[in-house]
Amino acid sequence: MIDKIIAKLEKAGYEDFDVVDKIPADSISLTTDLVSLKIYLPKEYEFDQYGIDDFLRGMAGYFRTRTVLDRDIYVMSVTGRLTEDQYCKLLQYIIDEEEFVAIINNED
Q: Report the CATH number at residue 39.
A: 3.30.780
49 has pLDDT over 80: yes
Query: Which residues form the domain of 60?
Result: 2-104
Distance between CA atoms of 73 and 70, rounded to whole angstroms? 6
Q: What's the predicted TM-score (pTM) here?
A: 0.93
Tell me how far CA of residue 16 lies from CA of 19, 27, 95, 96, 107, in angstroms.
Answer: 11, 11, 7, 9, 21
Identify the CA nearest to 18 among candidates 89, 95, 107. 95
* pLDDT tens profile 19-45: 999 999 999 999 999 999 999 999 999
When divided into structural domains, the chain yields a total of 1
Distance between CA atoms of 101 and 47, rounded to whole angstroms? 16
Distance in Å from the first CA to the final CA of the chain: 11
Predicted local confidence at residue 15, as pLDDT: 94
8 has pLDDT over 70: yes
* pLDDT tens profile 56-100: 999 988 899 999 999 899 999 999 999 999 999 999 999 999 999
